Structure 1
Amino acid sequence: MQLGLYDIVNTPGVASDLSHIATPAKVEGYLPPDDGLKKTLTGAHVVVIPAGVPRKPGINAGIVKDLATGIATTAPKAFILVISNPVNSTVPIVAEVFKKHGVYDPKRLFGVTTLDVVRASTFVAEILKDLSLSKDIVVPVVGGHSGVTIVPLLSQSSHPLPASLSAEDHKTLVNRIQFGGDEVVKAKQGGGSATLSMAYAGAEFAAKVIRALKGEKGITAPSFVPLAADPAGGAELTKELEKELEFFSSTVELGAGGVVKIHPLGTITDAEKALVKAAIPELEGNISKGITYVAEAYKKAEEDGPARL
């Protein structure tokens, strides 16, 4: 087992630090010189993309496009787990780059929305006044991975909310799950965003993907995925949404080949239906931005000459 790290700075030091942890993985860190990205990606089965600058979508779009190009040319069969925000746009960017290279497999592309699920579980445990339950509580979170596109299906929580919870407190809980990132930024006084909780959430999802890749059955997790990954499940979800979207976050079953099944929303409350409806226009815009970004980048590259492609 090997873990390869790549960034424009510091990766050899981070790799050295990680290599001291008692795991079976050999850890190596690479920098851009001497084909560092290619060395990192060669032979990779799972690629996690957390790269970029917090809350700088324009910058992150370019970074993700360049990394996607490297993956498409070096490890096109790898599972790609996109953490870099805005996930609603960066996942479509990866998809478009892979399409351009003729290696797109929608079953192998995932937007990591696990932090929303982790927050929902934790916040529900707080309301139940028992944080020891947080690891056991499961709340499906659907839609996307920013603001109003984050739709927690609290009616499907494995641990029901108290019947005494007021409508106003329920609304506050939904808002806190949707905008939990702002809570962290405020607490850090603008000096950063969610890093430790995101690292935990990313590791949780990556571990599930690796377990599925190794043959474990029945693993499910919410993820922002192409609906083409499961045409039948995607069609059922589209019927529920009453709108065709190329990507949507729903609970998916994972397998050795990637997405096995995209689960429908199921029975949800009228209030949750309203949240889903409100999320759709925002999702459409986010997805369109990612697709348009890649189209314009390739057009510019063609105008500047083949060497820039």
Structure 2
Amino acid sequence: MKITVLGAAGGIGQSVSLLLKMKLPAGFKLALYDIAPVTPGIGVDLSHIPTDVAVKGFTGNDLPLALEGSNVVVICAGIARKPGMHRSDLFKFNAGVIRDLIATGAAICPNACFCIITNPVNSMVPVAAEVLKKAGVYNPQKLFGVTMLDVIRAETFVAKFLDRAAGTIRVNVIGGHSGQTILPVMSQVGGFEFTDEEAAALVRHIQDAGTEVVDAKAGNGSATLAMAAAGYRFINAVVRGLMDEENVIECAYVEGGSQHSRFFSQPMRLGKEGWYKVLPYGPLTQAEKASLEAMLPTLRDEIRMGEDFILKPELFQDQPAEAGKAEKK
């Protein structure tokens, strides 16, 4: 099986590539691509780690070579944002990046699972879907927005709040991956009950965690390491599903199975063809229902913006793209 990481020279890309090199099963292939000319050297660097995962870095015009034969394509390419920069400010530049990378993927490895980390995820996944649809190869079960960072933050913060060992708490996070569209389902944390105030405080902490990291790094970085760990967890789940392991369940942002919006994140079963069954997230409290209803206009607007970038490109022709910023995840 072959995994390709696009945007492999960035902070997230290098870290997730390291985790994949160290943790993928023996016999896997790992391809790294980035426009940065250092990328082949990153591949050489990783190749010195003693695991039976073959790794090679590509740059420049070699994107088709990196994608050839890929089963899973992980996209973390694009620009990032700095303090005070809204995710919508990233949109035009990163939408162009996703459009071009997905178009090449559609031609070279149309049956791959595409896992999108690049922000704003709520809009980037619809961009990818419309590009794949135009190419005639769109399979909703193989296109994922990676929202796992919200999940691991929720699980970490809740475990700490409950004084439980790290890794022992599971929390589903539904909706999307921006601000109020991130909705941890606190009422479904097994065996525990939170007051409305406790649940609200934990939800705010999870929603604001990206800002917390950027502020702690004094504006000089974002959540690259936690995002890489989250990315690895989700990629590993996709791989386990492709290898026909049973009962692989994680949350992801996909099209299909939601009554709320075209794309929506909630738990799903992963299998040999990507995800194959979206699972219910369970009954919500009144406060959670209110939060869900409040987020939907924003989520739907962000989805529509991604769709329009491909279907109505004239709407974006006069909007300058911003480059060179550093994003908070």
TM-score (norm 1): 0.87
Q: Equivalents in 2 of 1:299, 1:4: separation in Å?
A: 35
Please state how far the C-alpha of 1:159 moved relative to its aligned partner: 5.2
Q: Secondary structure at the match of 2:100?
A: helix
Aligned to 1:45: 71
Alignment of 1:104 onto 2:119? no
Q: Secondary structure at the match of 1:250?
A: strand
Alignment of 1:155 onto 2:198? no
Aligned to 1:270: 286
Q: Equivalents in 1 of 2:47, 2:191: separation in Å?
A: 39
Q: Equivalents in 2 of 1:258, 1:29: separation in Å?
A: 26
What are the equivalent positions in structure 2 for 1:197-212 lying under 5 Å apart?
197-212=226-241
Asked which structure has the greater RCO (Cα within 8 Å, sep 6+), the reply is 2
Alignment of 1:291 onto 2:307? yes
Q: Equivalents in 2 of 1:185, 1:125: separation in Å?
A: 23
Q: Equivalents in 2 of 1:135, 1:151: separation in Å?
A: 20
Q: Secondary structure at the match of 2:312?
A: helix
Alignment of 1:144 onto 2:176? yes
- RMSD (CA atoms): 1.7
Aligned to 1:189: 218
Aligned to 1:170: 199
Give CA-to-partner distance per residue, 1:279-308, whole Å, 9 cap, x none.
11111011001001112349999xxxxxxx
Unaligned runs of 5+ in 1: 228-233, 302-309
Q: Secondary structure at the match of 1:39?
A: helix
State the aligned residue count: 281
Q: Equivalents in 2 of 1:257, 1:28: separation in Å?
A: 26
Letter in 2 for 1:122: T
Range that drifts further, 264-273 or 101-110: 264-273
What are the equivalent positions in structure 2 for 1:113-124 lying under 5 Å apart?
113-124=147-158
Q: Equivalents in 1 of 2:197, 2:140: separation in Å?
A: 40
Letter in 1 for 2:32: L
Q: Equivalents in 1 of 2:290, 2:178: separation in Å?
A: 17
Aligned to 1:230: none
Q: Secondary structure at the match of 1:252?
A: strand
Q: Percent identity?
A: 45
TM-score (norm 2): 0.82
Unaligned runs of 5+ in 2: 1-27, 82-89, 318-329
Aligned to 1:221: 250
Letter in 2 for 1:202: G
Please state how far the C-alpha of 1:264 moved relative to its aligned partner: 2.0
Alignment of 1:93 onto 2:132? no
Alignment of 1:21 onto 2:49? yes
Range that drifts further, 143-152 or 48-57: 48-57
What are the equivalent positions in structure 2 for 1:241-260 lying under 5 Å apart?
241=260, 245-260=261-276
Aligned to 1:305: none
Q: Is the 8 A contact 1:208 1:219 kept in 2?
A: yes
